[in-house]
Amino acid sequence: MGRKAAVFRYDISDASQARSLVQSVERELGPINILINNAGINPTKPLEELTNRDWDETIQTNLSSAFYVTQAALVGLRARVWGRIIFISSIAAQTGGVIGPHYAASKAGLIGLAHSYANLLAKEGITANVIAPALIVTEMIASMDSIKPGLLPVGRFGRPDEVSSVAVALASNGFITGQTINVNGGWYMS
């Protein structure tokens, strides 16, 4: 498409690496104006087998990384008085989901994080919103044999482009902030 792309490998569950990632991206590609926090893991285990390590790793990867990267990117966003921050959460944030409390809590935390950023940064031209998808055709869904598309009112799994089109809409709109957009085929309606 004639656009520049680059790959960066950092462990953004570590605050110093998250800062280094933001610096590398800005050095290579220019200022970050639209930030989509999409890091996530979902260690699926029966409730009684969840460990403290599972909890810590999930919270660190799914929630803390979003805070670290956003904080690092905020320096430039605030200087430019414009930005869009989008957090990719999950239906589990609102329903508890089927994966477990560690996953649900990490994804619910993203909603609280977005609300806070939205409130604190709105007057600086920076919006913060959440997309909460469910049952999108990804490796995660493919690995869960028990999940069937008939669970959803629309009768099918969602496509990645149905999530990305919402991200594009949020990135182009300066009036929507502090919102959670559910992209879930009608599973959870708010």
Q: Give pLDDT, residue 147.
A: 72
Residues in the chain: 190
In a domain? residue 12: no
CATH at residue 146: 3.40.50.720
Strands in 38-170 per DSSP E: 83-88, 126-133
Provide the 10 A C-beta neighbour count for residue 121: 20
Instruction: Give me the catalytic one of 10, 103, 117, 188.
Output: 103
Domain count, the chain: 1
Active-site residue flag, 188: no
Query: What is the per-residue pLDDT across 11-37, written as a single tens digit (0 to 9) for each?
Result: 999 999 999 999 999 999 999 999 999
- Beta bridge mates, 126: 83
For residue range 56-88, what is the model confidence (pLDDT) as tens digits?
999 999 999 999 999 999 999 999 999 999 999
Cα(138)–Cα(173) distance, integer angstroms: 27
Within a domain: 77: yes
Residue 15 lies in a domain: no
Q: Give the whole-number percent of the chain exceeding pLDDT 70.
A: 96
What mean pLDDT, rounded, does the chain reach? 94
Cβ atoms of 25 and 35 within 8 Å: the answer is no
In a domain, 44, yes or no: yes
149 in helix, strand or coil? helix
Q: How many CB atoms lie within 10 A of CB 102?
A: 23
- 173 found inside a domain: yes
Is position 69 within any domain?
yes
Domain assignment present for residue 25? The answer is no
pLDDT on residue 142:
67
8 within a domain of the structure (yes/no)? no
Which residue range is the domain that position 72 belongs to?
32-183
